[in-house]
Structure 1
Amino acid sequence: MNETIYIALISAGSALLGALIPTIISYLNNKEQNKFELKRDLLNNQKTAYKELMIALQNVISYQGNEQFRELQNASIILSIYGDNFSSNAMNDYYTQLVSASLEKRPHLTSDEHKSFQTEIINGIRTNLGLQKFDSFEIIGFRPN
């Protein structure tokens, strides 16, 4: 009788273990898949935020209107949500200086100051995307007739 109970317990344990192993492996795979998808989604959101910011900066420099500045405000907010810390802080510093100058709380930024802020922002973006930094970067305004 003892042998029968032992065989039954071993069989039940084997069946339970056989069912648990795939369940645990599936759980771990799903967990890793979810992490991967979250990282992929964040990277896609960052790429979109970076692109929108750079286009908004170009538009502000080229056209300098209220609508373009609102686009820059929106792009800065999106960058603050999805962007990396370095780029977000660099853009916030630049934005703060632009607003202060427009409110005449400070002199307007010099060409070198614009270039320095823009280089810092683009290098933060490029670093976060795994790309090499630029030695220098400047967005040039173009106003066709």
Structure 2
Amino acid sequence: MLAYIYRAKFVIALLVAGALLLTSCYKAPVNPDPQLQNYFKQEVLDKNFVVTLATDSGVDITSAYAKDTFVMKGTTDTSYNNGPMIAHTDAGIFTGTWSSNTNGYFDYSILTIDFDAPYPDNFKFFIRPWKFTSKADFPTLHLAPYGVSTDPKVLTMQRL
């Protein structure tokens, strides 16, 4: 009987600890900053961008995108945190999607790029979540892979 009471207390303690852990990790989504939303809408969406620097593991691959133009399209969704992406290249027009801050914080610090298959091999470089490394000279987009500190990639895109 004593062993049964001990086990019951142990199970209850584990359940309470688990519940506390789960509820303490919850972060409520932050509402978008209207100033950042407006700036992103006016300076980035529906504008042509070109790659001015692309490095992969220290190797400059910028020339692979020398004639390419990229456009993150806006939508009727007033959150301005996702939409279609279009790439104009010598090989044709390629479509995909972009999204910003799928982590619940709408501070436009993350940009996820994806392209629909088939796409040129060199587009694999773009397909990932990126973090903004600087916003000092916006609308130049300074990006590095998000969530991977050991991935030595750099992407800089300049608005035309």
TM-score w.r.t. the length of structure 1 is 0.32
Structure with greater proportional helix content = 1
Of structures 1 and 2, the larger Rg is shown by 1
